[in-house]
Amino acid sequence: MAKSDTEVDLERGNSSTTEDLKTTRSLPSMGVTNSVSSCDYMNIELQKAATEDNVKKFKEVLDELSEKQEQTMRSILETVSPFHNTLLHVASIHGSKNIVELIAPRSPPTLKKTNLRGETALHTVAKAGKSDIVLSLIKLQKESACSDDDEDQNLFKMSNVDGNTALHEALIHGHHDKWVIDLINADPDVSFCVNKEGKSPLYLAAEAGYSECVKAMMESEAYKRYTWPCQNSTAKDYQISPSAVEVVDDQKDMKNKDEVGDEKNNTKKNDEVGDYQKNDEATKQDGVLQVKSPIHAAVVYAANKKNSDLLNYMLDKEPKFIDLRDEEGRSALHTAAYFGYLEGVKCFLKRDPQAAFQRDNDGFFPVHSAAARNHVDVIKELQPHCLHLAEMLSHNYQNILHSATKNACINVVSYVLKTQELEKLINQKDKDGNTPLHLAAIGCDPVCVILLTRDSRVDKKLLNNKDWTALDACRYLNERFFFRRLTVMVLKKSGVKPSPTGKPIDNGANSTNKDEDKFKGISNALLVVATLVATVTFAAGFTVPGGYNDSGDEQGIATMLRQATFHAFIVCDTVAMYSSIIAAVIFTWAQLGGENLVSFAYQLALPSLALALNMMSFAFIFGIYVVVSKLNWLAKLVLGLGLCFQSTIVLSFLLLCFSVIADWSLIVLLKICNWVASIIYTFTDSG
Is there a single domain that holds both residue 629 and residue 572? yes
pLDDT band at 673 (very low <50, low <70, confident <90, very high): low
Residue 167 lies in a domain: yes
289: which strand partners? 284
Is there a single domain that holds both residue 549 and residue 488? no
Answer with the residue of higher pLDDT: 195 or 642: 195
Is there a single domain that holds both residue 619 and residue 658? yes
* Nearest in space to 280 (alpha carbons), one of 195, 341, 158: 195
Is there a single domain that holds both residue 486 and residue 577? no
Is there a single domain that holds both residue 533 and residue 674? yes
Whether 392 has a pLDDT exceeding 80, the answer reads: yes
pLDDT at 6: 45
pLDDT band at 419 (very low <50, low <70, confident <90, very high): very high
Answer with the residue of higher pLDDT: 508 or 81: 81
Whether 1 has a pLDDT exceeding 80, the answer reads: no
Cα angle 672, 674, 679; round to 5: 95
pLDDT at 72: 83
DSSP H helical ranges for 407-555: 410-418, 436-442, 446-453, 470-475, 481-493, 511-542
Which range of 108-112, 142-146, 425-429, 629-633 scores highest in mean pLDDT? It is: 425-429
pLDDT at 550: 74
Whether 351 has a pLDDT exceeding 60, the answer reads: yes
Is there a single domain that holds both residue 539 and residue 668? yes
pLDDT band at 217 (very low <50, low <70, confident <90, very high): very high
pLDDT at 246: 35
* Domain termination site, one of 500, 530, 546: 500
Q: Which value, in Å, is the radius of gyration of the alpha carbons in the chain?
A: 37
pLDDT at 146: 54
* Domain termination site, one of 225, 240, 267: 225
Beta strands 288-289; 284-285: pairing state: antiparallel
**Which stretches does DSSP call E strand in 7-65?**
none
Cβ-Cβ contacts under 8 Å for 267 (sequence gap 6 or more): 227, 229, 233, 273
Using an 8 Å Cβ cutoff, are 193 and 200 in contact? yes
CATH number at residue 434: 1.25.40
pLDDT at 27: 38
Whether 458 has a pLDDT exceeding 80, the answer reads: yes
Whether 652 has a pLDDT exceeding 60, the answer reads: yes
pLDDT at 232: 42
Query: What confidence tens digit (pLDDT) does each residue in 528-553 have?
Result: 888 888 888 888 888 888 777 777 77
Residue 659 lies in a domain: yes
pLDDT band at 646 (very low <50, low <70, confident <90, very high): confident
pLDDT band at 657 (very low <50, low <70, confident <90, very high): low
Residue 687, CA distances (Å) to 140, 674, 682, 683 in order: 47, 20, 8, 6
In the chain, the amino acid numbered 384 is: P
Using an 8 Å Cβ cutoff, are 322 and 352 in contact? yes
Query: What confidence tens digit (pLDDT) does each residue in 169-182 have?
Result: 999 999 999 999 99
283 by Cβ neighbours in 10 Å (0-12 / 13-18 / 19+) ranks as: buried
Helices 309-317 and 294-305 cross at an angle (nearest 10°) of 150
pLDDT band at 118 (very low <50, low <70, confident <90, very high): very high
Is there a single domain that holds both residue 496 and residue 591? no
Is there a single domain that holds both residue 535 and residue 662? yes
pLDDT at 505: 46
Q: Whole-angstrom Cα distance, residue 236 to residue 260?
A: 8
Whether 86 has a pLDDT exceeding 70, the answer reads: yes
Which pTM value belongs to this model? 0.68
Residue 369 lies in a domain: no
Residue 437 lies in a domain: yes
Stretch 238-242: mean pLDDT = 32
Residue 305 lies in a domain: no
Query: What confidence tens digit (pLDDT) does each residue in 10-65 have?
Result: 444 443 333 333 333 333 344 444 445 545 788 898 999 999 999 999 999 988 88
Query: What confidence tens digit (pLDDT) does each residue in 103-116 have?
Result: 998 899 999 999 99
Residue 95, CA distances (Å) to 52, 53, 61, 165, 437 in order: 9, 8, 20, 20, 65
Using an 8 Å Cβ cutoff, are 111 and 18 in contact? no
Number of domains making up the chain:
3
Query: What confidence tens digit (pLDDT) does each residue in 556-598 have?
Result: 787 777 788 888 888 988 998 998 898 888 888 777 655 556 6
Q: Whole-angstrom Cα distance, residue 160 to residue 457?
A: 61
pLDDT at 165: 97
pLDDT at 153: 67
Answer with the residue of higher pLDDT: 204 or 327: 204
Which domain covers residue 483, as residue numbers? 420-500
Whether 467 has a pLDDT exceeding 70, the answer reads: yes
Residue 31 lies in a domain: no
pLDDT at 592: 66
**Residue 354 C-beta-side C-alpha neighbours within 13 Å:** 8
Whether 238 has a pLDDT exceeding 90, the answer reads: no
pLDDT at 362: 94
Residue 679 lies in a domain: yes
Is there a single domain that holds both residue 663 and residue 532? yes
pLDDT at 528: 86
Averaged confidence pLDDT in the chain: 78
* Domain termination site, one of 444, 470, 500: 500
Query: What confidence tens digit (pLDDT) does each residue in 376-391 have?
Result: 999 999 999 987 888 9
Q: Whole-angstrom Cα distance, residue 104 to residue 89?
A: 11
Which of 109-118, 167-176, 316-325, 518-527 shows the lowest mean pLDDT across its residues? Answer: 518-527
Q: Please tell me whether residue 542 adopts helix, strand or coil conformation.
A: helix
CATH number at residue 55: 1.25.40.20
Cβ-Cβ contacts under 8 Å for 538 (sequence gap 6 or more): 577
Answer with the residue of higher pLDDT: 364 or 279: 364
Q: Whole-angstrom Cα distance, residue 42 to residue 58?
A: 12
Is there a single domain that holds both residue 495 and residue 548? no
Is there a single domain that holds both residue 217 and residue 69? yes
pLDDT band at 152 (very low <50, low <70, confident <90, very high): low
Residue 376 lies in a domain: no
Query: What confidence tens digit (pLDDT) does each residue in 613-627 have?
Result: 888 888 888 888 888
Is there a single domain that holds both residue 605 and residue 672? yes
